[in-house]
Structure 1
Amino acid sequence: MISLISMLYIYLLGFFIILMSYQIYKISKHTILFKLKNYIPFILVLSLLLLEIYATINKIDFIVFWLLKDISILIILCWIGEKIFKRGAIK
């Protein structure tokens, strides 16, 4: 059974996926989303560490935990790839 914390984390991942899919660097510089875009990997890593601590203490379903971890790593790698591509290192 998926716990409430896992569900909240899934929603957080979905929020970041939506932000990245709409290319948030095109959003106006005066919005909070523009300021948030540089911190997406750090927020994901911090929330993933908190989820890992929670999973260890409460012994949640580790299949769900590994799925969330893999999705988080994929989002971070996509973010890094986007930064490299924008700088022109890969054309």
Structure 2
Amino acid sequence: MKKNGIRTLLLMILLVLAVVLGQVIGTSCAGMKTLSWLGACAKFGLSPVDLDLSVVKFTFGMTVSINVAQAILLLAAILAYIKIKVRE
């Protein structure tokens, strides 16, 4: 059981690092002529919707933006996770 918890934590850490580093790389390369394709991003999701019930107001919505650098690093993180062996 302990091994599965460590592997899950490792996967979460790798995925978060891939997203953060991908955003940094994509943003910094957006101004460069040859590497600007790493900053190209796609946005999708639901725009915020308000539900006003006079007493309580709810706002629902979610938007995801992912760039090419993030996609490459997410794929690399998943492949690294598959290759890493965790000892007990």
Decide: shared fold, TM above 0.5. no
Greater share of helix residues, 1 or 2? 1
TM-score by length of 2: 0.31
TM-score by length of 1: 0.31
Greater Cα radius of gyration, structure 1 or 2: 2
